[in-house]
Amino acid sequence: MSQVNLEQFCTPKKPDKKLINKIKIPPSPYMKKIGYGTGIAVYELQRSPAFNKFRSPWAIKKLITRKLENNLIKTRLKNEAEILRTLVHPNIIGFRVFLEQKNGNSLLAMEECNSCLGDLIEDRSDNEKVPFAAKTIIKVAGDVTQALSYLHNTALIIHGDLKSYNVLVKGDFEICKLCDFGVYLPVTKDGNVDKEKAPRAEYEGTRSWCAPEILGYTQDITTKADIYSFGLILWEMIALCPPVTEELADNLSKCAELDREMLNDLLETMSTRQRPAIPENAELSEEYKLILEIYYCCTDEDKKNRPPALDLAVLFHNIQNSQG
């Protein structure tokens, strides 16, 4: 595994206020929109060269204008900025600056990547229609598990919303980085949610990627929830679609129209669902065998049977080394 210069990812916890005051972020219409989320839009900011040196572009995450009064989304963006500025790892998106503007909006500036894995999966589904190469899946898995191992064992947090759309990709899978930490949760060294730091902890990740113990009436929140979601990312790169049936996806899109009883019935159905099956039309060679074994292990219904992130990171590191 090649050595990475971590200095480029390091950011002081308290950025220089003089520097922040000099940062000029143009209005949204003057920036290229490169992504979006719930109440959030992401833009590309091309920065002017400094002293004849190229300066990499930033990704600017900010509230959509009509959501400026949504305190929940504001809080999530601020929480994401606060935790992201403390995370220093080559497989986690780099923090740049957080600004609270006079118009009531807030924005988070981050390192920019070329694309997200979710979009690449959609493009492949529309065009090539065949699973990603086993070597590519192993590269993504190695980067993601390195990040998860750091989060679970060093930063002591659960990502809380792991899915293909929160895995950013630089170049032709040169490196992958996790993003979107707005719903992270603190954990103890044994991997359980830290109830002292988060006494009313609630796992708020995207339900289609949630582990069974999260979808139940009483959530059982541990780092193993991230492992289950990671397993579904492996499935996505083979199946080329989100880990839900068409019927379930349609029902989820209508959640706002459901009354509480109907919604509870839907969630109960989801909580007892089995892991998605590998599509029958997916022609998988022998080189996918280990990937499938890891997928089944990570998405075991019993969280105790799922491997920890550190073991997975070591495993994928060894696989990559053996591939040369």
CA separation for the pair 50, 48 (Å, rounded): 6
Tokens found for residue 320: 């990559």
Of the candidates 161, 180, 226, 300, the residue annotated as catalytic is: 161
CA separation for the pair 190, 201 (Å, rounded): 17
161 a catalytic residue:
yes
Which is nearest to 176 in space by CA: 186, 156, 162? 162
Distance in angstroms between the alpha carbons of the first and the last residue of the chain: 9
Residues 6+ apart with CB under 8 A from 308: 149, 152, 191, 223, 227
Neighbouring C-beta atoms of residue 319, cutoff 10 Å: 18
Residue 79 CB-density burial (10 A; 0-12 exposed, 13-18 middle, 19+ buried): middle
CA separation for the pair 5, 151 (Å, rounded): 19
What single DSSP character describes residue 39?
T
CB 60 within 8 A of CB 108: yes
CA separation for the pair 142, 118 (Å, rounded): 17
Contacts of residues 289-292 at CB distance under 8 Å and 24 or more positions apart, as own/partner, are 290/319, 291/134, 291/137, 291/138, 291/141, 291/234, 291/238
What single DSSP character describes residue 67?
G
Degrees (nearest 5) of the Cα angle 300, 305, 307? 100
Strand partners, 134: none
CA separation for the pair 177, 12 (Å, rounded): 20
**Residues marked as catalytic:** 161
